[in-house]
Amino acid sequence: MRLISTVPPRTFSKTFMLPQKEHHLPVAVPEQDLPEQPLIYNRPQRRKPKPWYTSPILYVLAFLQCFAMYLGFWQLRRLKWKVSLIDELEDKLRRDPLPLPRNINMDVLSEFEYRLFQVHGHFDMSRVLFVGPRTREDERGYNVIMPFKRSSGGPDILVNRGFVTNDQIVGTGMNKRLRHPPKDDGKDRAIVVLLPRVYPPSRLALPNEPHNNLWLQIHPSQMAHWLNEQAGIEDAVPSTMPDAPAESTAYRWLRRIAATASSAPAPSTPEEAFQASQSEPVLPVYMEEIFGGTFADANTLIRQGTPVGRPPRIELRNQHAEYAATWFSLSAITTFMFIYMLRRGRRTS
């Protein structure tokens, strides 16, 4: 018996056949048989490269190397100026302290910046301003500013007593106070203070909040005006603050009479102490107390909650040498890149 397959033989249609690749060979055509229309080639034409000196990167590198070189020499001039300034200020610190006169001329006060002064009197412990937050040896805290009543008479001045940590401050807002306030027996004493240069606050800085006793920046005019306003006293120097809060004269005199009444109790909270009547206004004169002890003495006082003043030295940042080295390095790098691009462009042209 012979087996016969019932499956029809497999046929291949043209649709399943692999396309045959056609090869067009060049054929010589007589000139009279050429078409009148121009021949169009599918291959894209190669563009002509632009000249190497038209590259914008080359001009950017040339500008950067000149600009960085200029900034480097500018930082060297700043370095020379800063060194001479530090020498001048250190010479002022080496001089003997000057006595602070009773009547302070505010017009010439800036001529005595970074000079030491010796003042006699006592601090007003009941009115304390906290400026901060600040850091000292990786510890967060605030600078303590108090009015200083001079024994020679005249308006009070603002003195920065120094730094205290956060754990030495209790209360919030107007009732904020020191946990262990320095002992004050009411006797006058002599202290040495420094008249620093107070820079105006930046426009981007957050404003002070006097009603919460929160001072982010040192602003002597605003501090003196607020203390005088709380005590119901006119400013000794007209305030230069355009947006200083104004208080009616009737309310100021009414509060002053109530504070000076004989039956009025002594202030028991810091907020009442700010509003107590004062005999002298506060001048917008800001000074910093000098601490002449050692580093170990300063740490001991900070742990006890006693404010520690600034050391008797100039603390100005002088990093212009590092800035000059950075700009000169950038100029050298861009010069190398400029020479490389220049040689590469000439080689390819």
**Ranges 249-253, 287-291, 317-321: which has the least confidence:** 249-253
Contact 304, 31 (CB under 8 A): no
d(CA 163, CA 145): 10
- Write down the pLDDT at residue 293: 83
State which of 52-66, 107-121, 182-196 shows the largest mean pLDDT: 107-121
The answer to whether position 262 is within a domain reads no
75 plus 181 within the same structural domain:
no
Instruction: State how beta strands 139-150 and 189-194 pair.
Output: unpaired
The answer to whether position 140 is within a domain reads yes
The answer to whether position 70 is within a domain reads yes
H-type alpha helices, the chain: 56-93, 220-231, 249-259, 270-274, 295-304, 320-348
77 plus 189 within the same structural domain:
no
Contact 125, 184 (CB under 8 A): yes
152 plus 289 within the same structural domain:
yes
68 plus 167 within the same structural domain:
no
The answer to whether position 224 is within a domain reads yes
The answer to whether position 7 is within a domain reads no
- Write down the pLDDT at residue 325: 95
328 plus 285 within the same structural domain:
no
How far is the first Cα of the chain from the last one, in angstroms, to the nearest whole number?
86
Mean pLDDT of the chain: 79
Q: Which of 76, 43, 117, 126 is nearest to 285 (CA)?
A: 117
168 plus 76 within the same structural domain:
no
Task: Tell me which residue range forms the domain holding 343.
Answer: 57-82+319-347
Share of the chain above pLDDT 90, in %: 30
Higher pLDDT, 165 or 265: 165
User: Is the model's pLDDT at 194 over the cut of 60?
Assistant: yes
Q: Which of 232, 205, 210, 213 is nearest to 222 (CA)?
A: 210
Domains: count for the chain: 2
Q: Which two tokens stand for residue 153?
A: 């008479």
CA atoms in the 13 A half-sphere facing the CB of 115: 13
The single residue listed with the structure tokens 């520690």 is 308
Higher pLDDT, 14 or 106: 106
Q: Is the entire prediction scored with pTM above 0.85?
A: no
User: Is the model's pLDDT at 262 over the cut of 50?
Assistant: no
The answer to whether position 25 is within a domain reads no
Range 309-323 average pLDDT: 87
71 plus 153 within the same structural domain:
no
68 plus 183 within the same structural domain:
no
121 plus 170 within the same structural domain:
yes
Beta-bridged to residue 122, according to DSSP, are: 149
The answer to whether position 228 is within a domain reads yes
157 plus 276 within the same structural domain:
yes
Range 303-325 average pLDDT: 87
157 plus 298 within the same structural domain:
yes
The answer to whether position 298 is within a domain reads yes
105 plus 157 within the same structural domain:
yes
- Write down the pLDDT at residue 9: 53
User: Is the model's pLDDT at 128 over the cut of 50?
Assistant: yes
